[in-house]
Structure 1
Amino acid sequence: MVYRLCQKMAGMLVQMQEAFTQVQYSRRVHPEFMSKLKKLYQKMSEKDFTRAFISCLLIPLGEGEHHPRIENVLIFAAKFAVSVESFNHETEEEELCPFMNSLFEFLLDNHDVGDAALRFRMCYFMNMLLNSMGDNAFIDDLLCDRITTCMTERLLDKVPKIRAQAILALHRLQDPSDEHCPVIKAFIFHLNKDPQAEVRRAVLLTMGKNKQTLAAALRRTRDINDGVRKLAFQFLTKITVRSLTIEQREKLLSDGLRDRSEKVSKYVKMQLLPTWLEHYEGDFIKLLRALDAENALEISILMLDVLLKLTPVRNIIQHVPVDLDTKLIPFEKLTSESVIYWRCVITHLQREGCQDEIDKILPELSKFCEYIRDFMNLMKHDQRETWEQNTLRFILLQLFEITKICDLHDEVGRENLKELIVDTLKSDHDSEALIDSIVQQCVAIVPDTESRLNLLANVISELRMPLTTEVVPLTEAEKHEKDMKKAKLKVELLQVQEYQYVAIQSKNFLRAEELKTKIEFLKAAIEDLGTDQVVEEVREEYEMKSDKKTLTKCLQIMFSMTQSVKTLCPMLRSLLMDMVLPNLDHSVCSVIIGALKATTVCCLLDEDLAKKYIPVFFLQFSVENDDIWLAALKGIFDLLVLYGLERLGMAPDPETPEDTGQANKSRSNRTVRLYSQSEDTDTLLSTPRPSLNCENRNIINILTGLLDNANRDLRTIAVEGLCKLLLHRRISSPSLVARLIILWHNPVTDNDSYLRQCLSYFFNHFGAVVPDSQEMLERSFLVTLKMLANAPDTSPLHEIEPLKVAQLILHLTKTEAQDRLLGYCAHNNLALAIIAEALNSDSCIDPKLLIRSLRYLHIHLEDDSMRKCLQESVKRLSEQVEPSEKRITNTLSHFKRNLDNQTKFGAENGPITEEELMIEEEPMIEEELDAC
């Protein structure tokens, strides 16, 4: 009896195995074999069936490779399990059937097995089961807690694919409405911290929507991985635009539309923007209002350029609120948003060659100039708040921007526009941006340089020295004489009136008409003498105005007009001497800044002037004002980049210790000073005060000292300027390169995105533009690591991962084939230097860090003596390493194997074991370079 039962069980097991075998080939046979398995389920006991089912399931679960047949089997198993659940529970109950519960228990009991492929498949099948249970499925609280616990443990797995699969398995257990949901917290943690892009992508694919996940997704729009950024924008597309703040909307569009990845920017253009426009019912002006376009002009124009290309011309014109008769926007509808849209539509239509459509929404130039004059008159009316006046100035600026699109072939219209520009410059409705715009417009209106400069110089002259009208009262004698004339005229008037009366009585009407004309003349003369008690005398005298507003405007006009010339003509030189230089020591900050800007432009046009006046820029650092420092610093860097230190007579003295790559003590101390920390602050940055000593002409040291300034703008300008000097080969400094690398990684600058973008651009182009960049980077390697090692205990530099910095430098110094033909390979030299430093017992750099950095070298040995030297050094280094240091010994073995094989390390490496790969899991440095 027992034998028959065993035979029966064996037969059923064979049938089950046959079912698992057949379903792998095609999903069309799944329903057939599901029916057969259901019959077996009814015939066998729950325990026996479950045991047999799991034994068959173990075969596909143990396969690590992705294959369609394995997918077919697992899909079949998940569908069958759910069908058994529904088969057992035709009515709703709150407990899983024993078979389904046993499958979950099996997966949870074995989720942490030693085999990585099996752990992956356990999480994978868990996800399949949960997804197959339908939208309205439920599970027991205890089982839910256990799944959460086990899958959260798998989130800490060393294999990224397993972590990603655990994320997918957990996604149905999240509760976005619960602020303390452990699954949501785990998702956000891995989204922010997990080094593998695959895991971060899995989180964005499955994460629910709430305030916490929204903030986390916003941060991922600046992820180093293109795929993660795109998924972050996809996640945010599902968020209602009204759920985002204005700042968040602007930041999203700024990052997305300018993204370096085409697939990311394309998604933002083709999906996110149209979704937002649809949310505002296709109204462009409402969308602009949602962005606060007045304060985000650049990104608003960029957004409109994209949307207008996707919209038919007919729909575009319909949203411009112009009057059909006047072709102008009525003043009551003229807002910041409507004028920006008007401007962008005209620009778009002009770009597309739609002149007929432009004529429907823009009048001829003379009429448009009259429209601008009327608007300026409107600005004079009523007392307004500051923000209202700023809005009107913004609208006026956009109206002048529209004039740049108008047809200037109309001579009358061009003359009207020139008069309008002159009147606007003289008015009180100007701003710095408006002056720049209309002065640039003068280049097209008055192409002749001399005529244009004369026109603008006359405006400056009238602003600074207007004609004075002096009112002079009459003396007593003059008053008496005037009264006598008035009395004589009155007597004469009475006589003429009497003559007129007699002429009328005698019907001599011709004579009466003549007398009438004389009477009117006399009355007018008497009236003039009666009303004017004083006379106004216009004297040819000028009053020099020196108030802040006038000087700032005049300096701005000069700065703008000088942008369009190539030589410093006598008139500009005269303005420089008479107006600009005398105001460099003015008491008002804005006037000094304007004078510095104008002086900079003039010096850029004349080398002799630059040599003479560049010390003046350094003297501005004696003034305690950051804005003046910024203007002076910009001018200094502009002049140094154009002329170089030698031509300006500012090259370092021969006895001045210069950056020669020899890390002597004095230079190291000066370099490390940037990263010291004051006693009363927890940040790296301090506020040093630059000084110019005529005896010490090492200008670069003075400028480099600004890298640790607490003012973000000053620090950014200093970084930009020094990077430009390096790129233009005006200076060569390995220690400066080291400081820039550390500043790039410094956690203090985490929120300074512009500075990091600047450094990212610099290091991406440094190697291609500067011929000796490889040598500078090579010499900066150990200098950089020593700076990090010698940082004070309280310095934020301890948060920097030194291996990451080393990996960056080694990536930047990867020698190209053409350089190797010249016999130079930076990594060959670095290999010797790194090993020598690791063998140096007095070195401040951790030898483990140095050894691990060997992993990223790409050496190309052609010299046997160098190879033997490296092999001997590696052997000595291996003897000093403890056998328990598995990561270090693996790295040394890998390096030694490449030396023995004479292969290119890193490019043609030998096979690395899975164990080595797990130990040395590091992010890709190529992505890190593009992180900003």
Structure 2
Amino acid sequence: MPGLLLPQLPDLQAVLPPIFSQSQHNTANHRKNVVALHKIHLQCAAVTQTLPNGKGIKLTGEKAFNDAFSAMVAKILEVKRGVVQADRVVKFVAGFIAFLSEKAEQPDNDEDEDTPASRLVAFLLSHLLKGFEAKDKSVRYRCVQLVALMISSLGELDEDLFMKLREALLERAHDKEPAVRVQAIVALSKVMAGETDEDLADGEQSVQEVLLDVLRHDPSAEVRRAALLNTPPSPATLTDLLSRTRDTDTTLRRLVYTAALSTLPNPKVMSIAQREEAIRNGLGDREESVRRAAGKMVAGWVENQDLLEFLRTLDVVSSKVVEDALLSIFVTRPELLDAAKLDEEFWSSISPEKAFLARVFVDHCLSIKDTARLESSLPVVTALAFRIQSAYNKLLDVTLDPTQEATKEDATFILGELCKLAVNLDYADEIGRRKMFSLVRDMLGQPSLPDSLIPRCMDVMSKLSDSERDLIRVVVEIVGDLKYAEDVDGDYSRAGSEEASEISRGSRRSRGRSHSRDRKPAKKSQEEEELELEQAAFIDMRCLELCIAMLGRVNSNLHENSAFQGLLPELIIPAVRSKDPALREQGLTCIGLCSLIDKNTAKESFGLFMNQVQTASDEMKCKALKALFDMFMVHGTDFLVINEVCRCEDRTNEFLLHVMGDESPEVQAVACEGIAKLMLSGMVSDETILQSLVLMYLSPETADNQALRQCLSYFFPVYCYSSSHNQRKMQHIFLPVMEVLTQVHQDLEEDQEMITPSQIGMQLVDWTDPEKVVEINGMKADDSIHVDVAIELLKYLLKVTGKDERKTICQLLGKLHLPEHADDDKIKSIGLLIWGIKTRRPVKDTTSRNALVRFQASLNKRYSEQLAGMDEAAYRELESLKDLFDDVFSLVPDEDDEEEATPKPKARATRGKNARSSLASTVDEEEEEEDAVEDEVDEEDEVDSILGDDDE
């Protein structure tokens, strides 16, 4: 009879608990217990019961085992995250499922056969999916955690069960608990491999798209980190992975380089733009750990110590990050310095990569003072001069062919790198020095020289010149030759296009000057006259560029250099008066540079720049403002003095307020940046200017002006924390700023965004915090600033009537720093104001009242001796507070609270008791919130340990 098999069923309530109990102590016994549990499972699976009339077999043993097993698993589902014993049991269960799947995959088993193992897996999975919707976050977390660990070893699943699992995990990927979302992301990454296009409904996101969406937008750093670690790098995901190099979480940014990009088989999987983005964001990160990780990744891209091959994977000609990458490689892998051998074979055929490698190699050797390696690598001056000459000739050759634009860029880059290299040569060899001087001078005198090479050649000329006077003389001679060649030849054809114009302008005809003078002028057509005007404008532009490059490299007084005096009336002043915007801009730049090195020129040109600020376009306004602020920084602000009656400070403030009020966002940003520099240097100290800067920074009208916001977000902390004097100025404008911005917030339109008055107040409190002031030369900070802030806030609280405003002020009082010792009159003034508020203008809402009670309690505790015995009579007797007492006493009590304002003693004691009780309840609530935050931090740490962050 079938019933005879029942006694063979083991006592599951007796044998299963010891196995689960052992598994929670350590993981070393998991393998042994898995085997024991498997034997029990097989023993139970053998227990069956034949149904009557031969209708089938009832799996009595399996059902008993499944029920008992799921009951044991259910015991850990309510255990909070972070309990190590529960985590061990979860790993044990996952290990048991993996063992069952391993046994089921043996060759003698049919994959499609329905086995006890597959039925147990399906039963357990269905049981856990029910917990995905539980209200208890611990149950949801444990169920998803179990599925995430089991899913790799589940094998083939029924299609319906697989779709249920996929939908449930996608839903948990948007759970309100970050820990649950982490486990869902881990599980989804394993489901992704089995997903097909047929599984997706129309418009439905794939698992990979969900992971990428979480990676970009999830508010929790732990969840984004899980998505990053479980998203395989591929051309389809690289864009999203690289976007995390700008993530707010430092660990996540580091993981992009150590866990994502480092797993790529070859950097060529990424495009050149993506490689440069990874290098730029990584090596430019503010955190050292991220920069170090990015440096190791970049160094790993160098294969077989071939630096040239590495440079070919990047765009050395137009990229601005390749130099940082190469310097990082030299620091991370110093042995690669030996691989850069600048021998004769290296110089035999020059390429952009070779020129770049040589220049960066020399710069690095100079920075680390490796003179031995430097001497063995640098070429002699004469040899480099010939190579520069050869490179320039090649540039002229490719310029003649408009189809070789790319080759022209390469030739220009090579010549620029060689000129940078020439600056670091030793010019003790007089023959080589003369050769280089003659070559560079001739290059500067050629109109065909690309504009980008003028600063590079000027650096070499500055190195070769004996003095600044000599450099100025050479540049003036070059400018004179260009102007004379224009007058004599007049034959720099533009050849039909801007590209070809640089060719024909460089060609000079070899006819003599005397012959040109004797030639009778022929009548010119209108086209020839227009061409001559264009040629003249081009030569003037080239001369101005030479002057700008020269002026940026000299510091001597121009009035002592008579050679330069002729250029002002003949070249620079006409350019400033020109109707051509480009010429006028270059002329103003020259005037501005002259003004920085010569005070008299600055005084003479000040009106010119002021006029540009008033009437020019926004772009010219920005340039003129930059020139003016540079003049202020170098020479002071006395340019604005019109006469002795008008004060310089008043004129300066008037000008600064005017430029800050410009409608152009670009002009506002430039103005704020210049004013910030003046205030940091102490040249401007007016509180009205400071108040205007704060209002602009927090105003909703500048929400889109990121340049202005970024500048001021750096300026204010530096300004306030650098000295107590600056903090005192910020304290003086505290209330005016609060009043204005509160009114602005109340009048805010729907399409405008602005932080709340409470946040504004917290920002001002932070800027005036005396504990954050940096001590310089032993100067102690003024710790009474927040005491004065408290007095001003309490005075304001007596006047203001709005509920929200009063609530904001009461909350700010609790954030103030009260020093150990403070002036008696100030402390008693605070006590008098609090008494006035309670008796004349009491706060009505509970939150504000509790905040005021807490502030008074901390005040009484810290200054108990100074406030002992202070009541209305005592305040009335204080001569030092007579005016303040009269102001407070003159206030008429609110009608609604008149009875409360003059209570009987019993009522007053009752109110005090209620206040103390409310204060206690508030403190209890804060402690509960702190405990909740600590629990949440512990839970996040546990997520990190599960993800394996200890190995990062």
TM over 0.5: yes
Q: What is the match of residue 276 of structure 2?
A: 250
Q: What is the match of residue 380 of structure 2?
A: 364
The 1:59–1:829 alpha-carbon spacing in structure 2 relative to 1, beyond 3 Å, is farther
Q: What is the match of residue 288 of structure 1?
A: 311
TM-fit CA distance, 1:301: 1.2
- Matched residue type, 1:393: T
The 1:146–1:726 alpha-carbon spacing in structure 2 relative to 1, beyond 3 Å, is farther
TM-fit CA distance, 1:261: 0.5
Residue 418 (structure 1) aligned to one of 437, 441, 450: 437
Using the aligned pairs only, state the percent identity. Answer: 21
Q: Residue deviations 1:342-392, cap 9 Å, x none?
A: 322333455566667667765311122122223323333333356654443
Matched position secondary structure for 1:547: helix
Q: What is the match of residue 666 of structure 1?
A: none
Q: Residue deviations 1:129-185, cap 9 Å, x none?
A: 22454xxx3434444444444444444444433433333343323369869535444
Q: Residue deviations 1:317-366, cap 9 Å, x none?
A: 36x7x753xx6343xxx443332123223334555666676677653111
Q: What is the match of residue 704 of structure 2?
A: 748
TM-fit CA distance, 1:758: 4.2
Q: Residue deviations 1:169-214, cap 9 Å, x none?
A: 4332336986953544443444333333222222212234456643
The 1:550–1:738 alpha-carbon spacing in structure 2 relative to 1, beyond 3 Å, is same
TM-fit CA distance, 1:427: 1.0
Q: What is the match of residue 606 of structure 1?
A: 598
Residue 93 (structure 2) aligned to one of 69, 77, 87: 77
Q: What is the match of residue 894 of structure 2?
A: none
Contact 1:464 1:544 in 2 (8 A): no
- Matched residue type, 1:569: L
Contact 2:447 2:539 in 1 (8 A): no
Q: What is the match of residue 720 of structure 2?
A: 767
Q: Residue deviations 1:749-801, cap 9 Å, x none?
A: 5xx6x766545543453333365443555546626843762575354436x67
* Structure-to-structure mapping, 1:788-807, within 5 angstroms: 789=745, 793=749, 795-797=751-753
* Structure-to-structure mapping, 1:442-591, within 5 angstroms: 442-466=461-485, 536=515, 547-570=536-559, 571=561, 572=564, 575-591=567-583
Q: Residue deviations 1:807-832, cap 9 Å, x none?
A: 55554443317799634344872796
TM-fit CA distance, 1:535: 8.2
Does residue 1:384 correspond to 2:402, yes or no? yes
Residue 316 (structure 1) aligned to one of 335, 339, 343: 339
TM-fit CA distance, 1:269: 0.4
Q: Residue deviations 1:696-746, cap 9 Å, x none?
A: 97211232134x5255xx565344323323322333434333355348996
Q: What is the match of residue 786 of structure 1?
A: 742
Q: What is the match of residue 784 of structure 2?
A: 824
* Structure-to-structure mapping, 1:224-303, within 5 angstroms: 224-233=248-257, 234-239=259-264, 241-271=267-297, 273-278=298-303, 283-296=306-319, 298-303=320-325
Q: What is the match of residue 479 of structure 1?
A: none
Does residue 1:218 correspond to 2:242, yes or no? yes
TM-fit CA distance, 1:653: 11
Contact 2:189 2:231 in 1 (8 A): yes
The 1:534–1:406 alpha-carbon spacing in structure 2 relative to 1, beyond 3 Å, is closer
- Matched residue type, 1:166: A
The 1:563–1:841 alpha-carbon spacing in structure 2 relative to 1, beyond 3 Å, is same
The 1:388–1:776 alpha-carbon spacing in structure 2 relative to 1, beyond 3 Å, is farther
Q: What is the match of residue 170 of structure 1?
A: 188
| Structure 1: runs of 5 or more not aligned | 472-531, 659-694, 924-932
Q: Aligned partners of 1:913, 1:285: CA distance in 2, in Å?
A: 62
Q: What is the match of residue 329 of structure 2?
A: 307
Residue 769 (structure 2) aligned to one of 814, 818, 821: 814
The 1:716–1:418 alpha-carbon spacing in structure 2 relative to 1, beyond 3 Å, is farther
Contact 1:159 1:918 in 2 (8 A): no
Q: Aligned partners of 1:153, 1:802: CA distance in 2, in Å?
A: 38
- Matched residue type, 1:705: G
Q: Aligned pairs, how many?
A: 791
TM-fit CA distance, 1:43: 4.4
The 1:757–1:438 alpha-carbon spacing in structure 2 relative to 1, beyond 3 Å, is farther
- Matched residue type, 1:384: P
Does residue 1:14 correspond to 2:14, yes or no? yes
- Matched residue type, 1:192: R
Q: Aligned partners of 2:248, 2:644: CA distance in 1, in Å?
A: 40
Q: What is the match of residue 142 of structure 2?
A: 121
TM-fit CA distance, 1:628: 2.8
The 1:574–1:880 alpha-carbon spacing in structure 2 relative to 1, beyond 3 Å, is farther
Does residue 1:32 correspond to 2:5, yes or no? no
Q: Aligned partners of 1:58, 1:651: CA distance in 2, in Å?
A: 89
Q: What is the match of residue 435 of structure 1?
A: 454
- Alignment TM-score, normalising by the size of structure 2: 0.71
Q: What is the match of residue 585 of structure 2?
A: 593
Matched position secondary structure for 2:770: coil
* Structure-to-structure mapping, 1:643-722, within 5 angstroms: 643-646=635-638, 648-649=640-641, 698-706=654-662, 709=664, 714=667, 716-722=669-675
Does residue 1:204 correspond to 2:228, yes or no? yes
Contact 1:634 1:717 in 2 (8 A): yes
Q: Aligned partners of 1:891, 1:112: CA distance in 2, in Å?
A: 40
Matched position secondary structure for 1:27: coil
Q: Aligned partners of 1:73, 1:651: CA distance in 2, in Å?
A: 87
Q: Aligned partners of 1:150, 1:860: CA distance in 2, in Å?
A: 56
Does residue 1:866 correspond to 2:833, yes or no? no
Contact 1:425 1:435 in 2 (8 A): yes
Q: Aligned partners of 1:722, 1:921: CA distance in 2, in Å?
A: 47
Matched position secondary structure for 2:661: helix
The 1:821–1:636 alpha-carbon spacing in structure 2 relative to 1, beyond 3 Å, is closer
TM-fit CA distance, 1:468: 7.0
TM-fit CA distance, 1:226: 0.9
The 1:722–1:451 alpha-carbon spacing in structure 2 relative to 1, beyond 3 Å, is same
Q: Aligned partners of 1:9, 1:835: CA distance in 2, in Å?
A: 83
Does residue 1:401 correspond to 2:427, yes or no? no
- Matched residue type, 2:449: D
Contact 1:323 1:329 in 2 (8 A): yes
The 1:73–1:533 alpha-carbon spacing in structure 2 relative to 1, beyond 3 Å, is closer
- Matched residue type, 1:253: I
Matched position secondary structure for 2:29: helix
Matched position secondary structure for 1:454: helix
Q: Aligned partners of 2:928, 2:5: CA distance in 1, in Å?
A: 47
Q: What is the match of residue 98 of structure 1?
A: 119
Q: What is the match of residue 661 of structure 1?
A: none
Q: Aligned partners of 2:41, 2:411: CA distance in 1, in Å?
A: 80
The 1:28–1:535 alpha-carbon spacing in structure 2 relative to 1, beyond 3 Å, is closer
Matched position secondary structure for 2:426: coil
Matched position secondary structure for 1:587: coil
Contact 1:308 1:316 in 2 (8 A): no
Contact 2:723 2:773 in 1 (8 A): no
Contact 1:241 1:276 in 2 (8 A): yes
Q: Aligned partners of 2:711, 2:110: CA distance in 1, in Å?
A: 64
Q: Aligned partners of 1:414, 1:533: CA distance in 2, in Å?
A: 30
TM-fit CA distance, 1:596: 1.7
Matched position secondary structure for 1:782: helix
Q: Aligned partners of 2:623, 2:683: CA distance in 1, in Å?
A: 21
Which range moved further: 571-580 or 364-373?
A: 571-580
Contact 2:558 2:594 in 1 (8 A): no
The 1:112–1:872 alpha-carbon spacing in structure 2 relative to 1, beyond 3 Å, is farther
- Matched residue type, 1:181: Q
Q: Aligned partners of 1:8, 1:533: CA distance in 2, in Å?
A: 122
Contact 1:393 1:429 in 2 (8 A): no
